[in-house]
A and B are shown apart, each in its own frame.
Chain A
Amino acid sequence: MGIKDLSFKKSLWVFHLSAGSCNNCDIEILDLLTPRYDVERFGMKLVGSIRHADVLLVTGIITKKTKARVLEVYEQAPKPIIVIAIGACPCTGGIFASGYNFAGPLDKVIPVDAYIPGCPPKPEAMLAGVMKLLAPPPPEQANANK
């Protein structure tokens, strides 16, 4: 693993996009910044502009109105970017799946790297998801991919 990959993994700047959430997942994301979980020890921090982001966290269902905006934000992000769907809403639609304004799960709109289910997922679950995503694949899987 070169210095480039290492520093990418060690310095993930997170941009948080709420597509149409009930605000519960967003609060759980903010929990990660508190002293109890303190994601800054892994080098992660929240940034205010998508231009600085390495990770795009999407919460909430993709509604007919926000679908175009989510796509726009994704296209504006500098690559490489990791997209993580936080909560049941962007993964499947969750409790809003039969809503009149539901426009499909997130992976129908943009490519998703990790799904973190839960309504809302615990902060521990989010951290575990990111760590699993970044960890090198276990040896047998790496061999199977060859």
Chain B
Amino acid sequence: MGIEIFYFLIFPGLLFSGIIGGLISWADRKITARVQFRKGPPILQPLYDFVKLLAKETIIPLRGSVTTFILAPVFALFGAVISAVFILLPVLGIETGFAGDIIVIIYLLNIPSFTYIIGALASGNPLAAVGASREMKLILSYEMPFLLVLISIIIKSGMTIRLSEIVAYQAANGAFIGSLSGIIGFIAIMMCIQAKMGLVPFDMAEGEGEICDGIIIEFSGSILAFFKLTKYIMFFALPALVAGLFFGGLSLSGINILWSVLKVLAVVLLITLVRNTNPRVRIEQAMKFFWIWMNLFAVISIVLALMGL
């Protein structure tokens, strides 16, 4: 029992992934600034943002469901931490997990998105409702290619649905990114992750220019801080998942730390560059993009994986 609580709260759960996620989100802002020839925020910026939000007044909207509104960010944080634990334990090679944990991870990764929707609808704000409906459609569009890419990974790793075995298979036979089906699947899953994190070009649920931050419009103070922390943790968990699925996992022993950092940073760099070089698309453009193009990529990746490429 004690070790599970340690996993959840300290390493690799809340504390560890929160701190690393904060650093990654700083790196994201810093890279963005450098791309735009700016200087960018100081390294402690995520901490300042988080502490400031914790100390601020929390406003509960008059119309709306109070309990759901307050609990939504808490559940978002729980979902993010649990999925980070389930992803990081096998990917870092601490524990082997259990058979079928990749399916559990698929479900857990959806919890933050769902709680955004629930919280937004509970706030009773019409703009939040618009954001929530967009987020819902976005989930419908990116979930399918995400699953298909995972199927391609499962086929490539000899029909195992255990994340630690997928990582071990890559250690024995070379990382999946080195094969043709791996590259195509990698492109598709990167786009899905962009949408999962709600970053440009798929940030229409939060479009601050048109619907004033959409799903999080009514959140303020400490419950907004919880959403921030959720975002930080997802910014670590998702690149770590990609590193586990395509780059052969991470490791914390000796010189391998450097490689692990580089793998995660490479994924983060890709996400940031895509975010900085694209405008926001409309929701139906995003659905078309995922349903036609990304599904096509994922299916091609499955076919190539079946052919053993």
Give chain A's interface residues, CB within 8 Å of chain B.
3-4, 6-8, 10-11, 35, 38, 40-41, 43, 47-49, 51-52, 54, 76, 78-80
Instruction: Give bound CA distance, A51 to B227, whole Å.
Output: 14
Partner of B55, one of A7, A43, A48, A76: A7
Tell me if A11 and B42 are in contact (CB < 8 A): no
- The A-B contact count (CB < 8 A) is 84
Q: Give the distance to chain A from B24, nearest Cβ to Cβ, in Å.
A: 17
**B27-80 contacts to A (CB < 8 Å):** 29, 33, 36-42, 44-45, 47-52, 55-59
Closest to B209 in A: A48
Q: How far is the CA of A7 from the CA of B212 in the complex (A)?
A: 24
> Which residues of B pack against A, CB within 8 Å?
29, 33, 36-42, 44-45, 47-52, 55-59, 208-209, 212-213, 216-221, 224
A49/B213 contact (C-beta < 8 A), A35-B36, A35-B38, A38-B39 known: yes
14 other contacts beyond A3-B51, A78-B56, A78-B220, with CB at 8 A cut-off? Answer: A10-B45, A35-B38, A40-B29, A41-B38, A41-B42, A49-B217, A52-B213, A52-B219, A54-B56, A76-B59, A78-B57, A78-B58, A79-B57, A80-B57
The 29 listed contacts between A and B (C-beta, < 8 Å) are A4-B51, A4-B55, A7-B48, A7-B52, A8-B52, A10-B44, A10-B48, A10-B52, A35-B37, A38-B38, A38-B39, A40-B29, A40-B33, A40-B39, A40-B40, A41-B41, A48-B209, A48-B213, A49-B208, A49-B217, A51-B217, A51-B220, A51-B224, A52-B219, A78-B57, A78-B59, A78-B220, A78-B221, A80-B57
Question: Do A41 and B52 have beta carbons less than 8 Å apart?
Answer: no
**B208 proximity list for chain A (CB < 8 A):** 47-49
Whether the Cβ atoms of A48 and B40 lie closer than 8 Å is: no
B283 to chain A, nearest CB (A): 18
What's the least CB distance linking A42 to chain B, in Å? 8
Q: Across chains A and B, which 6 residue pairs bring their CB atoms closest together, nearest first?
A: A48-B208, A51-B220, A7-B51, A7-B48, A78-B57, A11-B48
Chain B residues positioned under 8 Å from A10 (CB to CB): 42, 44-45, 48, 52
B207 to chain A, nearest CB (A): 8
Residues of A within 8 A of B219 (CB): 51-52
CB distance A43 to B38 under 8 Å?
Answer: no
Q: Are A54 and B57 in contact (CB under 8 A)?
A: no
**Could you say which residues of chain A place their CB within 8 Å of the CB of B48?**
6-7, 10-11, 43
Residues of B contacting A51 in the complex (Cβ-Cβ under 8 angstroms): 59, 217-220, 224
Nearest CB of chain B from residue A16's CB, rounded to whole Å = 12
Cα-based distance from A3 to B208 in the complex (angstroms): 29
Bound-state CA distance A11–B44 (Å) is 10
Q: With CB as the reference atom, state the residue of chain B lying closest to A42.
A: B41
Least CB distance from A80 to B in Å reads: 7
Which A residue sits closest to B221, measured CB to CB?
A: A78
Q: In the bound complex, how far is the Cα of B52 from the Cα of A3, in angstroms? A: 9
Question: Complex: how many Å from CA A51 to CA B208?
Answer: 13
* A-side contacts of B212, CB under 8 Å: 48-49
Measured CA separation A7–B2 after assembly (Å): 34
Chain B's closest residue to A40 (CB) is B41
CB distance from A127 to the nearest CB of B (A): 14
